[in-house]
Structure 1
Amino acid sequence: MNTMLKTLQFHAETTETLCPTHHIPLMEIAGHRLCKLCAKETVHHSHAAYADELQQRLLQQKIRNSGLNKRYLDRGFKNYVIACPAQDNAIKLCQAFAQQIISGHYPNLLLIGTPGTGKTHLSASIIRNILHNSTKSARYYTSAEIAQKMMDT
């Protein structure tokens, strides 16, 4: 064990050469010259990039677990087409609903209407909004899936 520790020890010397960025003397370690501040910045940027990558992976996993059909993965409030006043009201209610959930409240919402009116689009928009703007998870269920779950219990 002591032999291994001795092997891992290294000697650092301050050089006369200045870092072109920070204008402080470079350190020479194991034949390599480096700036302490540049090294700290590199580590900081690496940690930030790693944290960003983890956040992206987590978001992608939450999207996969959301139950949304691939067809609806790109649906959002911005690309919802409002063709009548009722749809304008529906989108405003859905936006407020998503914001309430993000804020930590737990309201209820039931979307009903004839086929093709945008219920699934709005549901996907709510889910995407929650997933992208909070640490919460969200899941899409059809009424048939809910009924089946109720019968299974």
Structure 2
Amino acid sequence: MNAMISMKFQQVQAYCTEHNIQKVQAGPNQICPECAKNLVNKNNQEHQESVNKMVRELHFAGAMIPERHKDSGFRNYNTNFAGQSNALNNCVEFSRVMIAGQKRNLIMSGKTGTGKTHLSCAIARTLLNKGIYVRYITSEDMANEIANAWTKPDDSERSAVYRFSEYDLLILDEYGLHDRHENRLQLVHKVLYSRYDIGKATMIVSNMTLTDLQKDLGDRLWSRFQHDGLSVIECNWADQRVGGGA
């Protein structure tokens, strides 16, 4: 370091009291090489932190988490009885496995108002904070976006299916609710097949019973969903929005 400095800068008689080394003349200023290096490192670190923050914000924006659930997390999920505690623990474990780099699928089924979307968004936020790409979308909205891709310049059904296949985790909410039109359901299934083919994790959230959901997906998709490991959470308690109990 000193040899390099002696080639480019002239040493002066002044010493840095912190590092006990000679300062050098840099333009009109006398500076300590170590202090200068630390300042550069600090600026680089601050720049990297700024970049990381920007990337994190872009990840969160791209995930499209509903405004109502932008602060939904594991800590503020109410666990008033055993079923809710079990659901919470399974979601935390699923997040841990994803963060560890393992690929699993998750199905969460049950009645409306049982906190399924809250837990889904808690998973999304946990993974996003670890730099994992997540996308939340309802089955209906995804089917509509793919079906209408041909109306946009430079887009197509194939491109739209590929976009939804890229995310590390796709959270597909309200499966089976507003996607009953046969053609739209086929588009949803195309994404599920595509994600299986490239080894991506998928989470399906549905008000359907597990039996009906399995039948709706069909044997081929159900088999594929289990290939890399499948976690199943059944939320079979009453609607909490209207004060239901276990």
Is the 1:14–1:27 contact (alpha carbons within 8 Å) kept by the matching residues of 2? yes
The residue number in structure 1 matching 2:140 is 144
> Which aligned pairs between 1:30-45 and structure 2 lie closer than 5 A?
30-45=27-42
Q: Greater share of strand residues, 1 or 2?
A: 2
Task: Determine the structure 2 residue equivalent to 1:5.
Answer: none
User: What is the Cα-based RMSD across aligned positions, in Å?
Assistant: 1.9
In the comparison of the two structures, how many residue pairs are matched?
A: 143
CA distance in 2, matches of 1:80, 1:50: 35
- The amino acid across from 1:86 in the alignment is G
Letter in 1 for 2:37: K
Q: Distance in 1 between matches of 2:97 and 2:142?
A: 23
4+ long deviations beyond 4 Å: 146-150
1:17-32 to structure 2, matched below 5 A, reads 17-32=14-29
Name the aligned partner's letter for residue 35 of structure 2: C
Distance (whole Å) between structure 2 residues aligned to residue 105 and residue 49 of structure 1: 32
Identify unmatched segments of 5+ residues in structure 2: 1-7, 147-182, 191-246
**Aligned positions of 1:29-108 closer than 5 A:** 29-108=26-105
User: RCO (CA 8 Å, sep 6+): is it higher in 1 or 2?
Assistant: 2
Q: Which whole-Å CA distance do the structure 1 matches of 2:143 and 2:89 have between them? A: 28
TM-score normalised by length of structure 2: 0.54
The superposition leaves residues 76-119 of structure 1 with CA deviations (integer Å, 9 ceiling, x where unpaired) of 11111112211100011111111111112221111122222111
User: Counterpart of 1:110 in 2: which secondary structure?
Assistant: strand
**Which letter maps to 1:141?**
I
Normalization by structure 1: what TM-score?
A: 0.85
How far residue 147 of structure 1 moved from its aligned partner, in angstroms, is 4.9
Percent identity between matched residues is: 28
Separation in structure 2 between the aligned mates of residue 87 and residue 99 of structure 1, nearest angstrom: 18
Amino acid at match of 1:78: R
